[in-house]
Amino acid sequence: MNVIWFRRDLRIDDNPALAAAIQSGPTRALFIATPDQWLQHDMAPIQVDFIERHLNLLAKQLSQYNIHLDVLVSTDFNQQTAVLKQYCLEHQVENLFANEELELNERLRDKSVTDSGISLHLFEADVIVPKGQVVNGKNEMYKVFTPFRNAWLNQLRNLGIGLAPHPASLLTNTDEPTVQPMIELTANKQCSKKWPLADVVLKKVLPDFIETKHADYKQYRDFPAQKGTSGLSPYLAIGAISPKRLVIEVLQHNPHLLEDPKAELFCWLNELAWRDFYKHLLFHEPNLIKHRNFQDKYDALNWPNNPDYFEAWCQGKTGYPLVDAAMRQLTTTGWMHNRLRMVVASFLTKHLLVDWRLGEQFFMQHLIDGDFSANNGGWQWAAGTGCDAQPYFRVFNPITQSEKFDPDGSFIRKYLPELNDIPIKHIHLPQSYLAATGQLNCYRDVIVEHKQARATALDFYKHQLGST
């Protein structure tokens, strides 16, 4: 008996471990819930619910090929080896198949499983171009995105994209699928039903995006009040949709897309390249999982970490409408627009001088699309501590960002209804208008003044790093 062990690869499409298991003989499927580990890793309750819903979809899809999905529970990764050994004994498992996970605890767990005598076969299913394959002339990982992207593109052009065989090409679809009981994960959960399941996304949402929104993605992607993005990051984060599948689908509509990375149509694919970039980076730099700055010189930073500032940021009470609306979007919906992630990250680290790691953790605790490599990479980029980072002397201005990307205040009004009646010309910094109209209690004052905060941040970085 073979077993496919699902982790963050909750799909049957383009799943190399599943295909290999089926090709090796009769197969069962397994998922091991680890609620204590999820808490340790700051997994958001909305992502737990999203995983539960996709486990039920996965069980239904597998049952069509007479593959039964077992769901077991272990408190954490340390207990998973014992749970697996017992399971393998009960079902006379000869080979265990899984898709590898990058993070340190996950790697140590897999080593423990192998050391225990279980025959574990690992595959790669989380990137478009294989990790370790995009390197510079010194056989090292690129430290800047653009040359990585160019080399990444060359790989795609020269080698193409191959998908793992679908179960339908390997097994006969049964007319009477096996009955699978409802799966319920015992963990703190937040409803994720506003996000459709991956099968609906692949059939309807993705084709609609490619046909009607992809051409305008570059033009509208930075405006949070508009639905200009694809909204696919939650599915990539739990592996419910293959990143390779996305590239193939978009290339079918735009076969020349790989030829010119400067073309407007390439912009969306460029975001998938960024995702690969951060996963390749973690592959080469596993110590990033240990909360370390990518650039060692930033270890000297002694962050003030004002707790009142951090709490105001978390609650969306900074006095800057775009920042506050973004944070309320995150805490109420479990998602935040990408442009706003950069704005609020810059604000926390450079206006408030709060350690990026606190923001990174808060994001993971709330994001439905929480993914360590992307989240870590984005935060270190904003703080100026990471690979291909935003230099410390560049500070996002929350007022001009608001004026540019939410010009009429539509996004702000959606998440800050207390500002509904503020005229457009005052919506981006309403305090003077509120004072003049006797409405000071409507909204709080700014916790830091932008120009002064920027000057303080530059002085902080300069003196802490001993640079000029």
Catalytic residues: 271, 274, 303, 338, 356, 379
Instruction: Give the 3-state secondary structure of residue 203.
Output: helix
Query: What is the DSSP secondary structure assignment for residue 390, as one 8-state letter?
Result: P
How many Å apart are CA 44 and CA 298, to the nearest integer? 28
In this structure, are residues 448 and 304 in contact, taking their beta carbons and an 8 Å threshold?
no
- Residue 123 annotated as lining a ligand binding site: no
Query: What is the DSSP secondary structure assignment for residue 189, as one 8-state letter?
Result: -
In this structure, are residues 304 and 350 in contact, taking their beta carbons and an 8 Å threshold?
no
Can you give 424-462 as a three-state secondary structure string? HHHCCCCHHHHHHCCCHHHCCCCCCCHHHHHHHHHHHHH
- Residue 233 annotated as lining a ligand binding site: yes
Q: Give the pairing type, strands 95-99 and 2-6.
A: parallel
Query: What is the DSSP secondary structure assignment for residue 318, as one 8-state letter?
Result: S
- Residue 231 annotated as lining a ligand binding site: yes
CA-nearest of 286, 279, 468, 465 to 385 is 465
- Residue 277 annotated as lining a ligand binding site: yes
| Number of Cβ within a 10 Å radius of residue 16 | 20
How many Å apart are CA 269 and CA 280, to the nearest integer? 16
- Residue 459 annotated as lining a ligand binding site: no
- Residue 272 annotated as lining a ligand binding site: yes
- Residue 273 annotated as lining a ligand binding site: yes
How many Å apart are CA 307 and CA 263, to the nearest integer? 44
- Residue 359 annotated as lining a ligand binding site: no
- Residue 271 annotated as lining a ligand binding site: yes
- The structure tokens listed for 231 are 């909204």
Query: What is the DSSP secondary structure assignment for residue 212, as one 8-state letter?
Result: I
- Residue 5 annotated as lining a ligand binding site: no
- Residue 278 annotated as lining a ligand binding site: yes
Query: What is the DSSP secondary structure assignment for residue 306, as one 8-state letter?
Result: -
- Residue 274 annotated as lining a ligand binding site: yes
Residue ranges of the annotated binding site are: 217, 229-233, 268, 271-278, 369-371
Residue ranges of the annotated binding site for FAD are: 217, 229-233, 268, 271-278, 369-371
